[in-house]
Every structure is written in C-alpha cells, then in structure tokens.
Chain A
Amino acid sequence: MGKNRKRSADAVRLRQLGVILLLCCACAAVGGGYVYQKKVIYKLGREIKQQEVAGEESRRRNMQLEAQVAQLKSPAALEERVRAFQLNLVPPSQNQIIRVGAPASAPPVAPQRPTAQRNTNTRP
C-alpha cells in the first residue's frame, strides 16, 4: 500500500520550511533594501558635498572676478587704457551740448459736445 505523501508528516514539514524560507527571504530583502538605501543615501551625501564644494569654489571665483572687474572699471584704469589706445578723447565743450527742455504742458481742453450748427453743416 502506497503512502499518502500529501497527508504525511513530512509534507507538513515541507510547508513549514517554505514559510520559513519565505520569511527568511523577506527578511533578507528588507535587510538588502535597507543596505541599498543606506548606500544610495551615502552616495547622495557624497554628491551633495561635491556640489557644495564646487558651489563654494564658483562663489570664490566669482568674488575674485568681481573684484577684478571693479579694478578694471576704476576711473584710473580706464584713463590708463584711453591713454594707451591714444584715442585722444576730449569732453564736449558746453556750446556743443544742446539741452532739450520738456515741452510745456498745454492746458487741458474740455471735451466739446457736437452742436446743432455743426450738424447742419454736414452734407447729406
């Protein structure tokens, strides 16, 4: 007489083993996920730091360039360049300057009603 494997005690143990294995896999997956997440966070942290350093470097460079621009724009530096280029620039004399005054504002004109006389002048 053949043994009923489904109803045997071994079959029950196999199911339990499956459940345990599933639980173990779940635990491993959770653990793996946690580690992966931590790794990603760490990687992002490193990237943030790199970006911060790069940003700070750009800010520093910007500061230096602004100071350099200010130096190049200083009146003394500009005069030096004008002399170097020998442009012979001179300011205009006052009689070469024409000042245009703002037009005098005309008094406001009240809106007029069309009169009957005007209407009679209109041609049919």
Chain B
Amino acid sequence: MIRREHIMRMMGIACLLLAAFTGLGFRLFQLQVIESSDLKAQAERNWERRFEIPPLRGEIRDTRGELLARSIHVSAVCADPSITSEHAHEIAMRLAPLLQMDAEDLLERLTRPGKYVRLKLRVDDETVKAIKALGFRGLTYEDAFIRVYPNNSLLAHVLGWTNSEQLGIAGIELTMNKYLSGTPGRRVIETDRRGRENVTVRREEIPVRDGDHVVLTIDQVIQHIVEAALDEAVEKFQPKGIVAIVMRPSTGEILAMSSRPTFDPNLYNRSTDDARRNRCISDTAEPGSVFKVVPITGALSDGAVALATRFDCENGGFRYGGHTLRDSHPHGVLTTLEIVTVSSNIGAAKIGIALGKQRLFEHIQNFGFGKKTGLLLPGEISGISHPPSKWSGVSIAQIPMGQGISATPIQMINAFSAIANDGVLMRPLIVKRVVRRDGRVAQEFPATVERRVVSPQAAAQMRHALKTVLLTKGQTALDGSVFATQNGTAAKAALGDWVVAGKTGTAWKVEDGKYVRKYYSSFIGFLPANKPDLCILVSVDEPQQGGYYGGTVAAPVFREIAEKSARYLNIPAIPKPARAPASRNAALNQPKETTL
C-alpha cells in the first residue's frame, strides 16, 4: 500500500523537478528566443570573418601591346611600438640594411608613442620573408597594391597617376578609371580557435572582378624618339617648355605626345604642378605663322584665291585699320604659294581680307578652333576664338597671321592633319580599345570623322605649297613635284629620303595685354607630303639660347623626330631614280592671275 507519506514525498520531488525544468525551460527560452539574435551575433563575431577583396587595377598598354602601367602587390612592414620599443635598438640595426633605411629613422619610428606605425610601404616578398625569419615580436605585415610605370617618365603626362587607394587622379588613369578600377569581391569565412580559415565552409563568396586593360594608340618607340629629341632640345635651347605630338592624319590616332618639363609618375608627389601639366592640351598660345594655313586653305577652298594669285606685299609695311602690319623681311609681289613659302604676314592678311570676316571665322570654327577636340584626356581647354562681332578693325588682318587667336597644340596639329587628310577633320584618338581579362574586347574606340573642312583640291594645293617651305630658292623637291622660287623658312626640317610639307611659326608672347619679346616657336609638318602617314608638331616656349625662329628652333627637332619615326614605321622613301628636277611652271597654278 502506498502510504500518504510516500505520496507526499513523490509530490515534493515532482514539484522540485517541475520547478527545475520550468527554470531550465525559461532559461532555454531566454537563450533561444529572447537573446537569440544577440548571442548569435556574438558567436558569429567569434568565428566569422568578412573581408573585401580589392580588385587588381587594369593595365595600360601601347598600340603594340607593350606595358606602360600596371599594379603590383607589395607588402608594408608595420610595427606596434608598445611591443617593439623594448628591443627597438636591436630591431632597427637588423632591419635597416634589409629595408634600406636609415637605422636612426627606424629607431625613431619603433619608439613612437602609440600602437601602430608603418615602417616601409614598398617591400618585396623576399625581404618580408627575411624579416619574418628574424622572429621579432611586434612586427606586422600588410598587403597593398602599388601602381608601377616601368618606363618611368616616358608618356607621364598622358598616363597620369593614381593615389594610394589606386584611384586615377590624372591622365588616362583618370579618364579611363571606370574601366581600369574593376569591382571588389567579398568573402565571409569561418575560422578556428587559432584564427585559421576553415576553407570548406566559406559562407559567402562574391568573386572579385579585376579591372579591364586599356590599349592606347601611342607607340612606345615613337614616344621614346620624341622624348629623346625633346630632351636634346631642352639642353640646346633652354626653353621654358616644349611640346611635341605625332599624329596619324588618316585616323586621328596620336602616336606620341610629350611635353617638357616632365615628371616620373612613380614618384608623382615629388614633382611640381608645372612639371605635371600636359602642355599639349592645357596650354594655349597665339600660334603665329603656322596658323596661316587655315585662312589660306579656306580661301583656296572657297575659290577666293588660287596658288598663282598675286598679292602686293607692300615691301614689308602695310597700313590697315590704324595699325601697320610688318613682314620679317620686305617682299614685293608674291603669289599665294610664295606667301606660304616665305610666310608673309602682309600676304596672309590680304588673303584674310579677301576671304571676308564671316567666312574667315567660319573656316576657323570648322578647323576646330575655340572648341575642345574631345580627346580622352582631362584638362583640355578650348582656346580662344572670338566671333566677328568682337573683332577690332585690324582683327581681319591680324588673325590670318596667327595673332588675336589662341590655340592649343592639339588643336593646331589636328587642323594640319585635316589638310594632310584631304580636308577631312578627324577626332583625335588616344585610346584604341578596352580589353577584358579574358582577352575579349569590351569597347572599341574607332576613328571618327568630325567633318569635311575644305575641299580635297584645296587641301592638295596647300600640301603642294607647304613643300616649298622646306626648300631654298631654286631647289626642287625630292620627287620633282615643286620648284622653290623663294627661300623657304624651314630648310632645317627637310629630310634626305622623304618629301616633307610643313609650316613654321614664330609668335610673340602676350603679357599683360601687350606683345613682349618672348617667343613661341613652332613647326608643324607631315610626311610623305603627297600621301601623309605622319603629322608632327613641335612647339618651343621661350627658347633662351640658340635662336628663336620656328625654322631654327623647332624645325631641327621636327627633323629628328620625323626621320627616326619614318625609318621605324618603314615609310617608303622616295626612290632615287625618281628624283628628277621639275620645271619652274610646275610649281604654280596656271589659271587666275590677279594682283590684290
């Protein structure tokens, strides 16, 4: 028989168990339901690690696939001074030769107050291994990307540079940043007690997409030819600045672009703003006589003049609009062709007057002056080209001489390229294509025709006239196509194996609204003259020694660049037997002989 006492005891135990289980259940409810999210997060913090995988920035290559810029992985050696200060002297002495740093500097860093100090950023893997082998406590290693430009200062102004976060700051690095930068990946992992990753339970993985590669129209070898020529010119003429551009007229592709002073993008923070400025697109100047080809070709295209049209050049002094226009040497009556040959200011002014204000302005606009060319580089400026309503009385005579207008070197070479390209203006091109990592082309940048600016006949006539600029009186062009009746201004630009056409320019600079005796000397030319493959611009800003005329300063630099580039590109030279003298009449257009 179960006694009442037993029942009471069982009831007591049951109550105790019930209370215990109720408490346990409540605690379980508290842990699993009420505090669940907090505890889960706390647990995840213990074993879950989430980190972003930075993308590798794309490469920049030249038109032949040569590497111009790429990112590489480096390590940074860091220290916790609260740990390292104890043995700072020993650590500094051992690390100094490995890191190629001053031991005193290292000692100062290792004993700084705080818990973090970076000792050196660009440390290669071998050095890191050697430092790790020393076994010092308190040293840590961080991974980082750095941008490397293997050619140092070559093409610096075009390439630009990136900041420490691998973001493009200038040049192609900036304009093509969206292609180059890529997309970061993300990974969530579990770690064990020692912090080691448990690879089999990667919880989330968004793969990184490395940046695309950018292929430029630049040819590294031609760029080197240009830069070597500029360095030589800087030494010889000691100018304030100098620029050179090489362009392919038929496509608008830029094969080389450089300016001096320059800088090394690997060490961009050690250079000045002046050295980092791309003068080819961000500097304007009154172009001077090189600009004469614009109104004269326009006048030829409109039929306002012909190559044989005669102009009285007033023996060097022409009074117009209350001003006296002067030539560097007095000339009498000259044909349009001879005006180009001797670069007569008065002749060009009279052609401008014959063309008329409105047509002159339209031709200037058509050739692309006063507007950005649309080149894929940051910092391009549009230059100044005022409308006729803002012109003074003498503007119509001054502008055809290259005064009262300002243009960038890229605008000037583009205008010349239009003449070389049978009168068709192309958009300057510096990026050829964007290529994905797997080799597929992501985007092509094809040659783009802007517009026809002059008739093909007018362009051919101007090319014909520009050949005489490189000849001396009585000399015949290599191909026998033209005979010079006057001394050209750029005999120093002539080549022995190719017929070159070009124009010199020597402009006075303007300071505080007045012309001063400082010069901007230029030469723009193309070769082979009849079917140009290359158009080359050289502009020298304020040459200090060795002359100041475009034909003296810029023409020899042009010659250096043109000869080496033509050889490198294997442009066919004029065959020797074909070099026959031309008759004097071949140089002139027969119809329409009027004296203006």
Contact = CB atoms under 8 A, between A and B. Distances in A.
B125 A75 contact: no
A75 B151 CA distance: 8
Contacts of B224: 74-76
A57 B125 contact: yes
Contacts of B576: 95
B70 A99 contact: no
Contacts of A95: 576
B66 A70 contact: yes
A50 B344 CA distance: 77
A66 B199 contact: no
Contacts of B582: none
Interface residues of A, number: 30
A59 B199 CA distance: 20
A76 B199 contact: no
Interface size range on B against A: 20 to 34
B497 interface: yes
B572 A99 contact: yes
Interface string A50-65: 0010000101110110
A94 interface: yes
A74 B152 CA distance: 10
Interface string A31-61: 0000000000110111011001000010111
Nearest to A48: B199
B197 A67 contact: no
A91 B564 CA distance: 9
A71 interface: yes
A83 interface: no
Q: Is the interface of A mostly helix, strand, loop or mixed?
A: helix
Contacts of B71: 63
A91 B72 contact: no
A73 interface: yes
B297 to A, nearest CB: 31
A60 B71 CA distance: 10
A42 to B, nearest CB: 7
A70 B148 CA distance: 10
Nearest to B70: A67
B150 A74 contact: yes
B199 A60 contact: no
A63 B73 contact: yes
A102 to B, nearest CB: 14
B315 interface: no
B151 A71 contact: yes
Contacts of B200: 41-42, 44-45, 48
Contact of A94 (B67, B152, B564, B573): B573
Contacts of A49: 196-197, 199
Contacts of A52: 199
A66 B73 contact: no
A99 B573 CA distance: 10
Interface centre among B197, B199, B221, B573, by most chain A C-beta atoms within 10 angstroms, is B199
B492 to A, nearest CB: 20
B567 interface: yes
A57 B75 CA distance: 12
B140 to A, nearest CB: 17
Contacts of B572: 99
B154 A74 contact: yes
Given A60-B72, A67-B150, A76-B154, 17 more contacts: A45-B198, A45-B199, A45-B200, A48-B200, A49-B196, A49-B197, A59-B73, A64-B72, A64-B73, A67-B70, A69-B67, A74-B151, A74-B154, A75-B221, A91-B564, A94-B573, A97-B573
Closest 4 CB pairs of A and B: A75-B224, A70-B67, A70-B150, A45-B199
Interface of B: 66-67, 70-73, 124-125, 148, 150-152, 154, 196-200, 220-221, 224, 496-497, 564, 567, 572-573, 576
